[in-house]
Structure 1
Amino acid sequence: MTKTLALAGASWIALFAAAATAQTTITGIEDVDDRITDIEETATDEIERSDDPLRYGNPNEQPGFSGSASLSYSGKTGNNESQELSVSTRLRYATGPWVQTLGVALDFAEDDVERTKEDALIVYDANYYFDDRFYAFVLGRAEIDGLADEADEIETDAFIGVGPGYRVINEQDMTWRVQAGVGVSYLRDGLGDSDTEEGVIASSRFFYRFSPEVFMTNDTDVLHSGDNVLRVNNDLGVSFQMSDVLSTRVSYVTDYNEARDIRTDNRLSLAIVYGF
């Protein structure tokens, strides 16, 4: 049997806080176990996020349809009544130079008084490969909050962008691809007022392997919207495969937005996964 121990930032503090305060069952074991699972998933996602399958040229996708789906449901009766339902699916379709991916996640929740969550997330990603270096992309995203009913609440947040991409470097130990294009964002608040604006998007994905156990990534995304607001996100990270059972990643994320009073946010994170 393999067990995984994951550390992410101040995860130990959160873990012991959960053990001391979360007691929704008689022993509280279920709450602690759920919290450990959350910490494991957070650390694992942080490490796996650096593995970009598009870095190395046209990926060898399974021809035709493939994908996965999941469903989670829980319900309570008695002193407190509630229901929670989560549904997600990821579908891929590959044919010739076309590779398309569609992801959908739905979350619903209600208690004995009212509906408390009605969210939908949709992501579409399509790439057409002209050769090993040059490709075209289409990116689409929509986030919908079915319960938004106030002016300061976002009911729909959507974006779609298209453009070309090119792999400047495509070697075994170093890859660099860039892509740029035009896009349109759409915002609709809880009262039905909407705003649509055009923008220019650009992205850079750089990978360098120092050794079989250590590699670095630097991912940059830039969006300049129609209201002359510049937004930049840069994620610099180094991943270490210390042994067959120990992996770690250190990353530094900078997020810049001209529309904010404090324009720059920075985040330093450490993720460690140890299996034994």
Structure 2
Amino acid sequence: MKTLTRSLLLCATALTGTQAFAQSTVTGIDSLDDRITDVRNDANKDLSDMEDSQRFGPNAFKPGWGGAVALTYAGTSGNTDTDDLAIAAKLTYGAGAWQHTFGLGVEYGKDEGSRTKQDVFGFYEGNYYFNDRFYGFGLARYEQDDFASYRKDSFVGMGPGYRIFNEADMAWRVQAGLGARYYQVNNAARDDDTELAGILSSRFYYRINDQMFVTNDTDILKSDAGTLNTNDLALNVKMTDTMVTRISYKTEFNSAPVDGREKTDNTFGVSLVMGF
């Protein structure tokens, strides 16, 4: 809200700029440069927090709200070979030992007038830290993909987590839990079921220097219907005080695809991420 307020003040000053600079006694003109500097510093701090401070434990998680929005161009190979546009958003909220993360992603693509991709993904994860290393988590995720083996796939579960490394330049945490999985098969009958499922996740972060950092996120979801394995490797490069370029390679493996579909999808992506 502080950054937003200052931004609105800057807009108001710009709209009245002709009169303001013509009358040097107008209140607030002398402090305009200070306001611009404050806005830039706040944006730079928010961008640093966007590097996923959740990886570093409760003391490093920024209290209150934060987040990032990304616009992505992606080329895919596997079940679909398309050029796609995607929008993703992530919000975080810290309050004492609690950490909350919300995410939403939408991908849509067309090829010569025909729809080639329509994927909607959302999740919520809440973590409660008992100390700097050990925590408990609750997770809810939902995905609807008209071009995947499972048209709908959701999971709700909970379990323990542990930080193996928690250094300034390197962080690694793992977590495992049990829950319920609901899925709908992407076939003519739209068969669906709800099953007991388990999830295993890994989150790795390494800072190369002040401008570059690497992340590798892995999730394995297992139920009677099969195993879903997702690995997302990314290089993040800071371009300005408020923008990061993210180059990623994502692999999705399904041990039991429906007839006519492959087990593996690979996605190469280049994203422009803005922190706030």
TM bracket (short chain): 0.5 to 0.7
Residue pair 2:253, 2:264 contacting (<8 A) in 1 also: yes
- TM-score scaled by length of structure 2: 0.54
Aligned length: 185
What residue is the counterpart of 1:97 in the other structure?
97
1:272 and 1:159, CA in 2 relative to 1: closer, same or farther beyond 3 A? closer
Query: Which sections of structure 1, spanning at least 5 residues, go unmatched?
Result: 1-46, 69-89, 106-119, 145-151
Q: Report sequence identity in percent.
A: 43
Moved more, 174-183 or 47-56: 47-56
1:53 positional shift: 3.1
1:226 and 2:224 correspond: yes
Query: Which sections of structure 2, spanning at least 5 residues, go unmatched?
Result: 1-46, 68-90, 106-119
Report the Cα distance in structure 2 between the residues aligned to 1:52 and 1:98, rounded to whole angstroms: 15
What residue is the counterpart of 2:196 in the other structure?
198
Report the Cα distance in structure 2 between the residues aligned to 1:235 and 1:99, rounded to whole angstroms: 22
Alignment deviations for residues 188-210 of structure 1 (CA, whole Å, 9 cap, x no partner) = 68999741111221111111111
SS of match in other structure, 1:55? helix
Report the Cα distance in structure 2 between the residues aligned to 1:153 and 1:246, rounded to whole angstroms: 35
1:223 positional shift: 1.0
1:188 and 1:267, CA in 2 relative to 1: closer, same or farther beyond 3 A? closer
Residue pair 1:99, 1:127 contacting (<8 A) in 2 also: yes
Q: Kindly provide the amino acid, as one letter, of the partner of residue 218 in structure 2.
A: T
What residue is the counterpart of 1:164 in the other structure?
160
1:125 positional shift: 2.3
Q: Kindly provide the amino acid, as one letter, of the partner of residue 256 in structure 2.
A: A
Greater helix proportion: 2
- TM-score scaled by length of structure 1: 0.54
Superposed, 1:1-276 pairs within 5 Å as 51-58=51-58, 59-62=61-64, 94=95, 96-100=96-100, 123-142=123-142, 157-187=153-183, 194-227=192-225, 229-244=226-241, 247-260=244-257, 261-272=261-272
Report the Cα distance in structure 1 between the residues aligned to 2:97 and 2:243, rounded to whole angstroms: 37
Q: Kindly provide the amino acid, as one letter, of the partner of residue 63 in structure 2.
A: E
SS of match in other structure, 1:54? helix
1:128 positional shift: 1.2
1:50 and 1:178, CA in 2 relative to 1: closer, same or farther beyond 3 A? farther
1:92 positional shift: 5.1
